[in-house]
Structure 1
Amino acid sequence: MPRNTLTRDQIVRTAVELLDEEGMEGLNMRSLGKRLDSAATAVYWHVKNKDDLVLLAGDLVWHEIELPEPDAADWRRAAVSLAVDLNAMFERHPWLVQAFGSHLFYGRGKARYDDHCIALYEQAGFAPADADQVAAAVFTYVLGNALGTAAMGSLDRRLRRDGHDPQEFIAATMTKAAEVAQEFPRLRARLTQPAATDYAAAPAQTLERGLRALLAGLEAQLPPHPRQVHESAGAAHPGST
């Protein structure tokens, strides 16, 4: 495809597809050009280099996140919904989790998400500086939760490139891990339970449960609502009007 028929949007969307399939290690201008049926040199007319392309691809996928309406009466439900959707985006694009270790992401897609998070927490009652910290805490929690999926995807691709069967390799590793766990009483007890599964498996609803606990702890730091202060004062002085 000649360079004058390529568009930056087409290049970035194709880069996302390539990253989803091959990860960060599989992205290069030659493979991208092949997918676009174009010379690699034609891509450089639209993007500076691979790092620039990763930033553009990263910002594009931020637009996939649904932004629930801020609700002061039930802000935690909206916050959990937003965080769960962020995690789902990371699961669809695990390369983005990897890229956070080597890239500083910015752009309209991420700014749209960040601004909405701050609005949600400010409406909940947090001061602007506190809202920034709450948004960062929730984001860090979700990013950490997504690391496992990203790592497994990267491991799977590396094993296949090296000629290994990923399922066999992981099963053998988990068997060794379970053998080590037998030396520790609480791990041993869990492995011998009738419902025991994979030694490394996380309990169901781990993400949502952790989010609710994190948000409940953050909510406890909110200053009392004026109405709550008034009701508390009335309870302390029953005769007051």
Structure 2
Amino acid sequence: MDQTTTGILALYGILGVTVLALWLRHRAVLNHRDRMMSRMGSLQSNLTDTTQRLDLLSRGVDTILGETPEVRKLLDVHRKLESAENLLFDQGVAVSSSESCAIATHAAKSIIEKHDGNSNDNDSILPGLLPLVERLDAILTEAEMKAEDLELNGSEQRILGGLFHASTRTSRAADCYRMANLMDPEDSSSLRSLARIQRESGELEPLDRTLERLLATDPDDVEALAEQASILVGTDDDRYIRNKTRLIALGQPLEETE
């Protein structure tokens, strides 16, 4: 009898412990649910706030750019640059050289298409375009690409060089101008732009070579003749006499200083 009573009491004890454990587990689940509900409520509130801010930003952009649809088109350029960066650097998969060149060329052309190639004055450049040009320069630098790697024609190289020059990326601009002249030797505008960069940076020897190439296409270029003569003055270079004689023949005698 005592053993039976003891067994029953032990069974009740086990059942009690089991019920207590289940009750504690149930309470833990309820507390976890309450915490999750609270967290979800906080996330929903943050999401609503973020949505409202994005909507406000979107309407602000619409208001600001409403009368300048051409600037809005730069968003497409931004997306293409973003895509180029992802394809070149963020995939974790090696990209072939030809594919890299094609990707970078596509990004470069998206910028060129948004610019009037007749002028590279800062006032004529679409507002917001130069930061995208700087971003393209960063992409090309990281990818270790030069102008020759881009599948562009001479005119496109010249336009891109002008944009790099306007954004003070003079080394990149000079590279594009050289490539433009190589592809279209008859167009002297790229050489003139290259000479301007070399003049601004005080690179006299490269400037002398560029002026010589200019004179090869136009021997009567008075400005090139005079500038090259000023570089050669005081030397034994026969080109100084050549330029001086040519300027006299053109009615623009060289003014010599003591």
Fold match by TM threshold 0.5: no
What TM-score results when the alignment is normalised by the length of structure 2? 0.27
